[in-house]
Structure 1
Amino acid sequence: MTTLNINQIHLVGRLGKDPEIKWFDSGKVLAKITLAVKRPSNTDKTPNWFDLELWGKTAEIASEYTSKGSLIAIEGELKFDEWLDKDTNQQRSKPVVKVNRLELLASSNNMDSQSDTTDDEDDF
């Protein structure tokens, strides 16, 4: 029996803050975004928060056309960032969604434009 491994995430939510953009000497660009997603089953109305990572043209579009409060849809894959905590000297990790596809649904400024982008950047 063959095991099928699928790592695919679809989310719709609003940006918690403006995208953080980083340009690398290689010319590649990275955008980091936090996304608030409400779940119908969540009775206390507290959103779930997701850290998103966007690369290349997708990052540029997010930087130019989104801001805190923008409504977006994304398709991506889950990865884990790992680091050594400087204070405790313990290994730490957190889940991050690497966005492969971004759709602009609305913005906090009621922007009516839509964009459907994909990006194949893996690393810097």
Structure 2
Amino acid sequence: MSIIISGVGRVGKDAVVRNTGNGDAVTGFLLAMDNGWGNNKTTLWFDASGWGKRYEGASPHLLKGTQVFVSGELGEREHDGKTYKTIRLNDLQLVGAKSGQSDRPQRQESKREASFGDAATGGFEDDAIPFAPIPRRQLW
């Protein structure tokens, strides 16, 4: 009998792809999943691993801080007297950008846009505008 776990977490350590003796690719990363809220919030850490080309192809996107949805078989392993929780992945989906980043790609400002001046005047000098600008009101 196996226990299946699913949920959303953040990658705690960049993914690493290793190959078995048979040449099979195994992608592994550390996964942090929060449980509870407020003062009762705890973080559960898992060693997540996915086998095959699908997870190997996802590895460049599995960077520290990236939010992912995972589903897989819950397990345990021991190493140097410590017990680690593991998830053998059945499914993985990227659901968000790294913390502090927008989900949308940043727009690159072209050299032409940068040469027009500041945004407050629309990139033009007051003398070049064919109508009189509205005077700015002082708020104090």
Question: TM-score, normalising length from structure 2?
Answer: 0.60
For the aligned residue pairs, the C-alpha RMSD in angstroms reads 2.4
Structure 1 distance, partners of 2:38, 2:22, is: 43
The percent identity for this pair of structures is: 30
Residue identity in the other structure for 1:95:
K
Q: Following the alignment from structure 2 to structure 1, what is the Cα–Cα distance between the partners of residues 83 and 44?
A: 18
- 1:13 aligned onto 2:9: yes
- Count of equivalent residues: 102
What does residue 47 of structure 1 align with?
43
Instruction: Return 5+ residue gaps in structure 1 as ranges.
Output: 113-124
Q: Where do 5+ consecutive residues of structure 2 fail to align? A: 105-140
Residues 46 and 84, structure 2, Cα contact 8 Å, conserved in 1: no
Structure 1 residue 101 displacement after superposition? 0.5
Distance 1:56 1:102 in 2: 13
* TM-superposition CA deviations, 1:56-111 (whole Å, max 9, x none): 1232133122211110001101123346x4xxxx7x64331101100111232645
Structure 1 match to 2:97: 107
SS in 2 for 1:52: strand
- Amino acid across the alignment from 2:66: S
Higher relative contact order (CA 8 A, sep 6+): 1
Contact 2:11 2:31 in 1 (8 A): yes
TM normalised by structure 1 equals: 0.67
From the CA coordinates, give the structure whose radius of gyration is larger.
Answer: 2
1:97 aligns with 2:87: yes
